[in-house]
Amino acid sequence: MGTVGRCRVRDPDRTVVPSDDARHRGVHPARLARLAQGVGEAFVELLAVLAPVECVCCGFEDSALCGTCARRLRLLCARPFRAEGQAPALLTAEGAVILPVVAGGHYRDELAQALLSFKHLGQGRLASVLAPALGKAIRSAVGDAAGVCLIPVPSSNAAFRRRGFSPVHLLLGRLGQRGALPGLHMTDALKKAPGPGSGQKGLGRGERARRVRGSMTVRLSRKRSLEGRACVIVDDVLTTGATLAEAARAVSSAGGVVCGAVVLAATRPPAGSDQPADGLDTQPAPTQTKNK
């Protein structure tokens, strides 16, 4: 179990009310970006209604995710687990944990296909299945702690313009609307800094780390609210951990106390990673995390 300040990120089997302004705004003014986010979400829902719908996993008609595949997805996310052991950017050279991470499930099968379709193919209806899985991982990580700030990792500006929404913000927003995680607060604190911080698919550990270094910063309007607050970083997929490490660095630099992170899914490290790909569901021994 990793502990920092007033917050702990636990091994599973041990809650977040996103604020109304919890939307990724990129570099655009807040009002314009909120409007764009709303229009994007509405378009996703409209597309799901008007376009022919079939299960993104098995092709069964009349449902974005059929009952059988939905049950399989829930089974994949039934037991959130500690996943930082296979994220080399989140470990020291000696193997000690820098940032503990709880994952909702393994990035494979129905979970991987549903997440890809949600992010890239306009399948907004899948939020109704993916959001509870993310919420379960958050509850496993934070437990009964109150007052913790959940800080979503922002999409790149290019991805936000292409999709019209930020997947992590949308899922946390769905949880907030349903009151699924009382006692926690989603804070839209991070933004992308100018630079080549996107396009990491297929890169190894070293190149990913170089690509994301310095790519995030905390909004000036949020810095004061983070000082001394327990914070948990939230993202959709964990690979090498470079993105989570950069987000934690930015939040810590602004005075936030980073307790750990939560992701919807954890994948094997990409080709070229320094770490072996086996043993994702190994739960590390309790480790004191660093405010880094």
In this prediction, residues 147-154 reach a mean pLDDT of 95
pLDDT at 37: 61
pLDDT at 53: 75
Dmax (CA) of the chain: 54
pLDDT tens-place string over residues 160-174: 888 888 999 999 999
pLDDT at 285: 32
CA angle 246/236/223 to nearest 5° reads 45
Query: Is 60 exceeded by the pLDDT of residue 200?
Result: no
pLDDT at 24: 47
pLDDT at 26: 45
Higher per-residue pLDDT: 107 or 32 = 107
In this prediction, residues 56-67 reach a mean pLDDT of 88
pLDDT at 267: 87
Distance CA 83, CA 38 (A): 33
First-to-final CA distance of the chain = 17
pLDDT band at residue 256 using 50, 70 and 90 as cut-offs:
very high
Query: Is 50 exceeded by the pLDDT of residue 21?
Result: no
